[in-house]
Amino acid sequence: MCGLLGILTALGDAPRFVDPVAHALPCMRHRGPDEDGTWNDDDVVFGFNRLSIIDLEHSHQPLQWGPEDSPERYSLTFNGEIYNYVELREELQAAGYTFRTSGDSETIVVGYHHWGTGVVEHLRGMFAFAVWDSVDRKMFLARDPFGIKPLFYATTAAGTVFGSEKKSILDMASSTGLDLSLDYRAVEHYTDLQYVPEPETLHSGIRRLESGCHATLRPGGPVEAVRYFRPDFTPTPVPAGTEDALFHRIADALEDSVAKHMRADVTVGSFLSGGIDSTAIAALAKRHNPDLVTFTTGFEREGYSEVDVAAESAEAIGVEHVVKVVSPEEFAAAVPKIIWYLDDPVADPALVPLYFVAAEARKRVKVVLSGEGADELFGGYTIYKEPLSLAPFDRIPSPVKKVLHKVGEIMPEGRRGKSLLLRGTTPMEERYYGNARSFNYEQLSRVLKTARPEWDHREVTAPIYDRSRNFDPVARMQYLDLFTWLRGDILVKADKITMANSLELRVPFLDKVVFDVARTLPYDLKISHGTTKYALRRAMELIVPPHVINRKKLGFPVPIRHWLAGPELYDWARTVIEESQTDEIFNRAEVLAMLDEHRVAMNTGHGPDHSRRLWTVIAFMIWHGIFVEDRIHPEIDERDYPVQL
């Protein structure tokens, strides 16, 4: 787990970029405080920050390898972990290759020499890497199937810069001629979705290599991504009486994944909330580490903490448990720092408690497991029940639906049945765009001055829906979430916020073997018996404590709706809005009016809850103050951690 930075120059003048790369590396030292280094030839400069997890004394990067006739032909920078590296080493050794280290990094470059670009098909893990072939003078960039690890890039007349964090590329702007202008389309997508969708960033000149993609480029050439992984769902009917065999397959796949995710030369812990996902991971991890330590977080407000349930789960599975309770004051003070770590804002308040529990975990371990991805793979979001609840509308003729939709539009806000009527008469492609739904276009156009109708969420979701036309409704929603919410919010915060604390987070659900089982589940084994993730719950019955099996998902909830209306955060939010220099983007008066309307609603019990909309705007304003205005300067701790824990 590390931070990489590099440039493939257009003119073969790489030596002049050695100092700019070295100068930019410290801004992502948190990703790899154990060691750093650079390497270059005439075409390429690689920089690296290492967090040592496997083969601590060796596997230094940038890593050189080659066959006997050209022993330094390839150079590698790699962020992530390859969990099946032991098996790959054995396979490649049997093919006649010699390894110089005992780590996982070398399997990538040896595999690239052996399989070419097809190496990505053999890797089971999370990764973003660059391989430079000095003989053929070409660069190979790749990202893992689900997008667990990030990879940013920018192409200018000087060449192509790429890195684990956008801020390191921004640091090289003056030496590369990088375009620093804002991408207003991306701003609207962020405001609509609460995150910046791939491959965009808020800077016009910087893009992201998408999840499940790779690219081969040459000096002066473009980055042309090729998709190698499509997470297609192929539901397969399960004959009556054979369900138990399927549940065993799920349990076996997850147990195998957790076993491989426990591979490390340092201590591995686990996050633990009150739900089935993290509890299953922790219970399975305990089988491989009897001294497993788990970590959770919460708030001192009823209904916004899973601390008690998590503690009960920890006791049931027999692990030591650590709790971090976050105060409103700690919450507000940490937000600018967290947004700096993010590179682009993500309007998810759960980022903040995650930051604190990650910091707490880093005092005890260097790696944690977590339950991200279970909802997208096994059908865990409550909204996935919607196709079933709206099924009666499928039998209504289209002309009648149009009339009913108009009736819904004129019904007063808050009238019972209005939402059901509108959603039931709206095609899925228009009504569902993931878990982050805050602004409708009317609200957006009042708040966002740069809004354009053609830039709404459908610009992002339409191509994804086109690729899933043959899926059932729930599978279409899952497929959409894999390309939007999961990689735009869930995995961004998982990577950026844990790495902010020099902590490696691993996600065993997002494993190719687990997905191969999950993708075959029919609808009635996802949404069934009044619950979600039905097949997963059945598969985990002998692993997860009974009090968790059918418990409703809560996660790390944040009482932001109450705090923005009360003494905890109202004045803080108002100050952020009033001091922001974003008048060319946001209508300040409308945002302030929304804040006051929200306060009245929460204090009287009547009116709209604007908390998600407000948080979306506030997070952007803080980001703008840091990265555009250069007005907000978060204090980033210069922490030192031991190499091994």
Active-site amino acid positions: 2
Residue 102 annotated as binding site: no
> 231: which residues sit within 8 A by CB, 6+ positions away?
145, 146, 212, 479, 482, 515, 519
Mapping DSSP to helix (H, G, I), strand (E, B) and coil, where does residue 462 land? helix
Alpha helices in 266-383 (DSSP H): 276-286, 307-317, 328-342, 351-362, 374-378
Rg (CA), the chain: 24
Q: Is 544 helix (H, G, I), strand (E, B) or coil?
A: coil
How many angstroms separate the Cα of 123 from the Cα of each of 53, 78, 109, 400? 18, 13, 11, 52
Question: What's the angle, vertex CA 387, arms to CA 386 and CA 389, rounded to 5?
Answer: 60
Q: Which residues are bridge partners to 127 per DSSP?
A: 80
- Asked whether the beta carbons of 558 and 270 are under 8 A apart, the reply is no
Chain mean position to CA 47: 24
CA gap 617, 586 in Å, rounded: 8
Residue carrying structure tokens 């952007």: 620
- Does 371 show up as a binding residue in the annotation? yes
Supply φ then ψ for residue 267, to 5 degrees: -75, 135
DSSP state of 629: S
Signed CA dihedral, 95, 101, 103, 104: sign only: negative
Amino acid at 343: D
Residue 193 to residue 488: CA distance in whole angstroms: 9
Q: Give the C-alpha separation, 118 to 574, whole Å.
A: 52
DSSP H helices, 28-104, are 85-94
Q: Which residue has the tokens 């789960």?
A: 313
Rounded distance, CA 28 to CA 162, Å? 13
- 139 beta partners: 132, 217
Output the known binding site for L-glutamine.
104
Output the known binding site.
104, 370-371
Output the known binding site for ATP.
370-371
